[in-house]
Structure 1
Amino acid sequence: MTKKLEVYKCNICGNIVIVMHPGVGTLVCCGKPMQLLEEKTKDVGMEKHVPVVEKTDKGIKVKVGSISHPMVNEHYIEWIEISKDEDEVYIKFLKPGMNPEAKFEGIEKVDKARGYCNIHGLWSYKQ
């Protein structure tokens, strides 16, 4: 059974799915079950992966890592997501060469922030 906002990855083609509507079946891609990604919060390298949430005059700014994460073709943050609850979620997509951060204007408070590293997976910070 899937849960709302869980993140799954295909280990064959790399397809990533965020569950919008939970179901009882198994998510399948390329003929194989998809892997549920664990939300890491601490580990070796957390200083470059755990989202850091800052309140600004205009809203919320999320930086991935207290030490700036690399943003090169081979290793970068693909997306940053914030949520107030499971019914209000915002995502910004990043590309190599960009700063590993996202600004969400008009948002005053978040309960959770997540970032996805193309090498080291899914990382989260919860208030």
Structure 2
Amino acid sequence: MDSVKIGKLIAKLRKEKKLTQKNIADALGIQNKTVSKWECGLGCPDLSLWPELSAILGVDMKQMMEGEITSNQPDSGNIDKVRFYVCSSCGNILVSTGSASIFCCGRQLERILPMGPPAATKITVEEMDTDYFITFDHPMTKEHYISFVAFVKSDRVLLNRLYPEQSPTCRIPVNTGGKLYVYCIKHGLSVYSDISRAEL
């Protein structure tokens, strides 16, 4: 480990968070001078302190240990580049509009890649007032269910969370164009490009 590089990064991140060396020391249960030593490049945090230090500073522990935070490319504003992530531990659903480092339950999540529309899942679309009422012919058991449905168009993502033993339906505003993403915990992410037809 490059203690000088790490020390400079710790100081920079601490100042960004508007924290003092004492704030960091108190949160970690160590002395102020220890944090000062790190920032001067005269040593690195003990291995047992890294997880809590990275949480306090709000950064990825691995990148902090390397002494360098890698920035993602700026969001280009193209919502078509939306990415979905699902935590295998807690089931959280996370969305980014471009390249991102996404973590949940202490693990980095991989982007879920769409598989295309599954032949087995039939979708029925009914127009009701200003919404499409969408019904999926899909089991909703604890072992096999649709976890989320997302409609993506222009500048927005409409996310519907579904749960086991719930009816496999959702509503979205009537729209032309856009894409419908459906995530089944067993078969992955599928994409439908035209939901305006009565049946897909």
- 1:40 matched residue in structure 2: 115
Instruction: Measure the CA separation in 2 of the matches of 1:72 and 1:101.
Output: 14
Query: Is the Cα contact below 8 Å between 2:138 and 2:145 reproduced in 1?
Result: yes
Identity %: 26
Structure 1 residues 81 and 74, CA, compared in 2 at 3 Å: closer, same or farther? same
Equivalent of residue 134 in structure 2, options 53, 62, 66: 62
Equivalent of residue 5 in structure 1, options 66, 82, 92: 82
Instruction: Measure the CA separation in 1 of the matches of 2:169 and 2:85.
Output: 23
Structure 1 residues 96 and 107, CA, compared in 2 at 3 Å: closer, same or farther? same
Instruction: Measure the CA separation in 1 of the matches of 2:176 and 2:161.
Output: 20
Instruction: Measure the CA separation in 1 of the matches of 2:128 and 2:90.
Output: 41
* TM-score calculated relative to the size of structure 2: 0.47
Structure 1 residues 34 and 101, CA, compared in 2 at 3 Å: closer, same or farther? same
Query: Is the Cα contact below 8 Å between 1:11 and 1:35 reproduced in 2?
Result: no
Is 1:28 aligned with 2:96? no
In structure 1, runs of 5+ residues without a counterpart are none
Instruction: Measure the CA separation in 1 of the matches of 2:92 and 2:163.
Output: 17
Query: Is the Cα contact below 8 Å between 1:60 and 1:109 reproduced in 2?
Result: no
Amino acid at match of 1:47: A
Amino acid at match of 2:176: K
Instruction: Measure the CA separation in 1 of the matches of 2:89 and 2:128.
Output: 43
Structure 1 residues 109 and 53, CA, compared in 2 at 3 Å: closer, same or farther? farther
The Cα shift of 1:76 comes to: 0.9
Q: Name the count of aligned residue pairs.
A: 116
- 1:100 matched residue in structure 2: 168
Greater helix proportion:
2
Which structure has more relative contact order (CA 8 Å, sep 6+)? It is: 1
Instruction: Measure the CA separation in 1 of the matches of 2:106 and 2:156.
Output: 32
- 2:156 matched residue in structure 1: 88
In structure 2, runs of 5+ residues without a counterpart are 1-71, 76-80, 195-200
Is 1:116 aligned with 2:188? no
Query: Is the Cα contact below 8 Å between 2:134 and 2:170 reproduced in 1?
Result: yes
Q: Once the two structures are superposed, what CA deviation does each residue of 1:73-97 show, in whole Å capped at 9, x if it has no partner?
A: 2211122121232x12222222222
Structure 1 residues 61 and 30, CA, compared in 2 at 3 Å: closer, same or farther? same
Query: Is the Cα contact below 8 Å between 1:53 and 1:60 reproduced in 2?
Result: no
